[in-house]
Structure 1
Amino acid sequence: MLAAYVAKTSATDPFAGLVIGERPAPESREHWTTVDVAAASLNHHDLWSLRGVGLPDALLPMILGTDAAGTTADGRRVLVHGVIGADGHGVGPTERRSLLSERYPGTLAQQVSVPTANLLDVPDGLDLTVAACLPTAWLTAYSLLFRACDLRPGDSVLVQGAGGGVASAAIVLGVAAGLEVFATSRSAAKRERATALGAAALEPGARLPRRVDGVVETVGRATWRHSVSSVRPGGTVAVAGATTGDPDAAELTRIFFQEIRVQGVTMGTRDDLAALAAFVARTGIEPPIAEVLPLADAERGLRALDAGDHFGKIVLQP
């Protein structure tokens, strides 16, 4: 089967080890199901894997990808939850948690095999290309807003770094849920897109009209001080990444004096994913999709993701 996989990793030239070529189809395995992939979306996790972060040479070659939607042999339309081993289904009770493409082959292929318990039915009316955008970035955004920050309609949130998958998802979900959403970006074009999605868009570091109830933080060093200074006393800064690295200063004095809560997030549970898919289907909202490409053009999509000039998700279709 055709797949996009890592043959070797490189911290300095991540695309040197990327191969688009044939890999063995998944073998039948008890308590696992093979899915014919209809669509798979890209995430920064794929770029980290190419650089060798969390992917040792002993596990190479490894098919990339954590997100997918497709069909099973009996025609069931399914959404893949990419967290493996969180509660033992299909892999044994002592299995440590991992994501697809870390210990088991990922979704950037014509087929992927996952524990059967990791499959969710795609709600009626939800397109598989849209569904494929949900399991990593959108699930993370959902967890940041509604689990970590515990936001409710009428609350306010600051989303740092508008344009990336998690940030754009947080904007769309927040607006649909009745939140007042502020968003920052260095790019005027991305600020315009954020405004079109219903956010009040600002330049990085700009003073907000008032402090917010929560902050969605995926940028790190470049925005951390602004995040901590923009949240109200007792509010939450929810963190799911640090694309610019760790902050030079943790701002601990402000954090303890203002009683600010800092909460880390890594994706979410299958129940969270089911709730997210139902929310998307019922409200009719759709993930901003920057580009849909054939699987054979995976390198083009990954390079676009690495450049960071896009707004929304990049999707591959086998």
Structure 2
Amino acid sequence: MLAAYVSRFSSDSLDGLVVDERPAPPVRDGWVVVDVRAAALNHHDLWSLRGVGLRADQLPMILGTDAAGVVDGREVVVHGVIGGPHGRGVPADEPRSLLSERYDGALAEQVAVPAWNLVDKPAELSFVEAACLPTAWLTAYRMLFSVGGAQPGQRVLVQGAGGGVATAAIRLGAAAGLEVVVTGRDEERRARALALGAAAAVEPGARVPRADLVLETVGRATWSHSVRSVRPGGRIVVAGATSGEPENAELTRIFFTELEVRGVTMGTRDDLEHLLAFLARTGVRPLVDSTFPLADARSGLARLAAGTQFGKIVLTL
């Protein structure tokens, strides 16, 4: 089968990428093989190519955490979190992992996952739209609602317009009656955030009204601004640090203003079911930046690495 995989690690993340034939997924008890129709790209794929979270003895490793496809005529979305406290299909003591960390990922014609990890795809969503959801949109949903506890009428600050989590948070938040304020590096991204439903879009570091909740995925470049921008007793939910670890943890402000800081890695299978139902009922859809055939995975990953996308990049089969 055709697949995009890591052959070796490189600081130039695309040097070790190969798109070529790989063996079909092995058959395991309690697992199923999904015929992939669409698979979305994430920064996780770029980190894997650099060797983050992988060892050399695991190579070659097929990339990808997000997929939608078909199993025996059933249209499904793949929940990419394998094992952990809520998982099935692996030993109970096996640590949680994401597809492409311990088991081959979804950038392939087929992917094997525990049967429990499949969620029915609503007929209202295309395969491309559904493939956008299991990482970025699921993370945004969990940050806003399951962990963030956002309520209609509250103000939410989203750091970094343009990324998959940020665009998902804008659309989900606006549909749920939240006042979404977004920071963006350039005027075009801020304008697009407003078009997606943000109530305001400002330059990074700009003074904003105090937020009830801050969604933080950028890290060093925005952390101090996040801590200063949340109201006393408010909450910051962290799901990434794409610009690196903060140099100053701002602990004094955190304890003095009694802030709550919570971490999120994707979401549960239940969260994914709720997210799919939310989209099917409201008509909200993922923003797709571009699509590429699986055979041209390199172009898609190059666009992601360049940081010029707005929304999700999806590979199609």
Q: TM-score, normalised by structure 1?
A: 0.98
Q: Does 2:272 correspond to 1:263?
A: no
- Residues 88 and 95 of structure 1 are in contact (CA less than 8 Å); yes or no, is this contact kept in structure 2? no
In structure 2, what is the Cα distance between the partners aligned to 1:41 and 1:256?
39
**1:275-294 alignment runs, 5 A limit:** 275-294=274-293
Q: Which residue of 2 aligns with 1:227?
A: 226
What's the counterpart of residue 68 of structure 1? Answer: 67
How far the C-alpha of 1:253 sits from its partner, in A, is 1.1
Provide, for residues 163-217 of structure 1, a one-character-per-residue CA deviation record: whole Å limited to 9, x for no partner. 0011111111111111000000112111011010111110111111x20100000
- Between the aligned partners of 2:193 and 2:139, the Cα distance in structure 1 is 18
Q: Which runs of 4+ in 1 moved over 3 A?
A: none
Number of equivalences? 315
AA matched with 2:244: G
SS in 1 for 2:15: helix
Letter in 2 for 1:7: S
Residue matched to 1:307: 306
- Say yes or no: does 1:2 pair with 2:6: no
Q: Unpaired segments of 5 or more residues in structure 1?
A: none
1:20 has 2:19 as partner: yes
**Corresponding residue of 2:92:** 93
Compute the displacement of 1:160 (Å): 0.3
Residues 146-225 of structure 1 correspond to what in structure 2 (within 5 A)?
146-199=145-198, 200-208=200-208, 210-225=209-224
Match of 1:237, SS state, is: strand
Indicate yes or no: 2:168 matched with 1:144. Answer: no
**3-state SS in 2 of match to 1:4:** strand
Question: Per-residue displacement from partner, 1:39-75 (whole Å, max 9, x unpaired)?
Answer: 0000000000000000101110000000000000x20
Write the distance in 2 (CA, Å) between the matches of 1:88 and 1:82.
11
> What is the CA–CA distance in structure 1 between the aligned matches of 2:26 and 2:261, rounded to whole Å?
43
Give TM-score scaled by structure 2 length.
0.98
Which residue identity is paired with 2:39?
A
| Aligned-CA RMSD value | 0.8
- Give me the whole-angstrom Cα distance separating, in 2, the residues matched to 1:81 and 1:50: 22
Cα distance in 1 for partners of 2:159, 2:101 equals 27
Can you list the C-alpha shifts for 1:229-253, whole angstroms capped at 9, x where unaligned?
1100111111000011111111111
- How far apart are the structure 1 equivalents of 2:82 and 2:314? 22
* Contact 1:40 1:107 (C-alpha < 8 Å) held by counterparts: yes
Alignment of 1:110 onto 2:109: yes
Amino acid at match of 1:84: I
| Partner deviation per Cα, 1:6-31 (whole Å, 9 max, x = no partner) | 00011x22111100000001122221
Note if contact 1:13-1:51 (Cα within 8 Å) is conserved in structure 2. yes
Q: Is the 8 A contact 1:211 1:231 kept in 2?
A: yes
What is the Cα deviation at residue 88 of structure 1? Answer: 4.6
Which AA in structure 2 matches 1:211?
A: R
Aligned-partner Cα distance in 2 for 1:241–1:88: 22
Distance in 1 separating the partners of 2:237 and 2:155 = 13
| 1:88–1:94 contact (8 Å) kept in structure 2 | no
Is contact 1:213-1:235 (8 Å) kept? Answer: yes
In structure 1, distance between residues paired with 2:201 and 2:296: 33
Q: Which runs of 5+ in 2 are unaligned?
A: none
- Which deviates the most, 293-302 or 81-90? 81-90
